[in-house]
Amino acid sequence: MNNNEENKSMGLEKEIQTDFSKAMSYGDYLHLDKILSSQHRCSDHHDEMLFIIIHQASELWMKLILHEVKASTESIRNNDLEPSFKMLSRVSRIQQQLIQSWNVLATLTPAEYMEFRDKLGQSSGFQSHQNRLIEFALGNKNVHTLSVFQHQIDLYEQMQQSLHEPSIYDAAINALAVRGLPIDQEALHRDWSQSYQPNASVEEAWLTVYRNVDQYWDLYELAEKLVDIGSQQQLWRFNHMTTVERIIGHKQGTGGSSGVTYLKRALDQHFFPELWSLRAKL
């Protein structure tokens, strides 16, 4: 039976490709053999598969966030703001996927999780280097978090490089200066390895943008895209914290952190502070 006869018998359209002996298939392109064979449970418990897939899928979404944020930061630094808007909108949508994933994980009950939690050893989401890179890219720098990765030389060097690079907010502040808005030099030429601290000149510049939207529409649009991302990141943190509290309460984290207490402290670390403080002054 030839391809056309087989397609017809299967109810397929005759143009549909079925012979991939010499062509790249969907599975080949996506390397599904590797992806779908990477879920290795350390226990026999049914729900460990959920736990693994949620975290693996989240890491893939985080990889895409980093891809988009890096490109959008470069676009802003090149004073070409508009291409960044699409990328930052995409980041916000990805964050929504990550936020919703906590609702799926929350179907895991405390009793079910306790059946395999000890099999995790000292592995913990705290050790997610991509989550840390996202925090760095958004301006929340903390050199002490790098110690977790020092056993992986290449990864440690990547983290060091990211720590010392300007964040997307630093690029946005530089864009304000390029447009002639007065920005203090200490905000433009600072130690990028330190978390960003609020600056009065930056707030005043953003206020000028928000009070003159027609004149600074692109900067205004950039600001609102950043607010979207900062807000979604906080929601992700909050849902993370509440999911952990729902499943393990105030137990210590598997990686040694204080668990819920640590996650609650992280909620106090805000992104893009002047874009929030200016709202009270408009």
Burial class (CB in 10 A: 0-12, 13-18, 19+), 266: middle
Tokens, residue 4 = 């056309």
Q: Are 130 and 62 in contact (CB under 8 A)?
A: yes
Looking up tokens 């991302």 gives: 229
- Residue 45 CA to residue 104 CA, distance in Å, equals 17
117 is known to lie in a ligand binding site:
yes
Q: Tell me if 47 sits within 8 A of 112, measured CB to CB.
A: yes
Contacts of 259 by beta carbon, 8 Å cutoff, 6+ apart: 244, 248, 250, 251, 252, 253
55 is in an annotated binding site: yes
Q: Are the CB atoms for 76 and 171 separated by under 8 Å?
A: yes
Is 240 a known ligand-binding residue? Answer: yes
Residue 131 structure tokens: 């989550």
53 is in an annotated binding site: yes
Diameter over CA atoms, the chain: 76
Query: Which residues have C-beta within 8 Å of that of residue 156, sequence separation ≥ 6?
Result: 146, 149, 150
Q: Taking the C-alpha atoms of 232, 238, 239 and 244 in order, what is their torsion angle to the nearest 10 degrees?
A: 150
User: Is 76 annotated in some ligand binding site?
Assistant: no
- The Cα–Cα gap between 92 and 108 comes to 26
Assigned token pair, 61: 């979404």
Query: In this structure, what are the phi and psi dihedrals at residue 181, rounded to the nearest 5 degrees?
Result: -80, 135
Contact status, residue 202 vs residue 274, Cβ threshold 8 Å: yes
Binding site per annotation, positions? 51-55, 113, 117, 240, 254
Binding site per annotation, positions for substrate? 51-55, 113, 117, 254
Binding site per annotation, positions for heme? 240
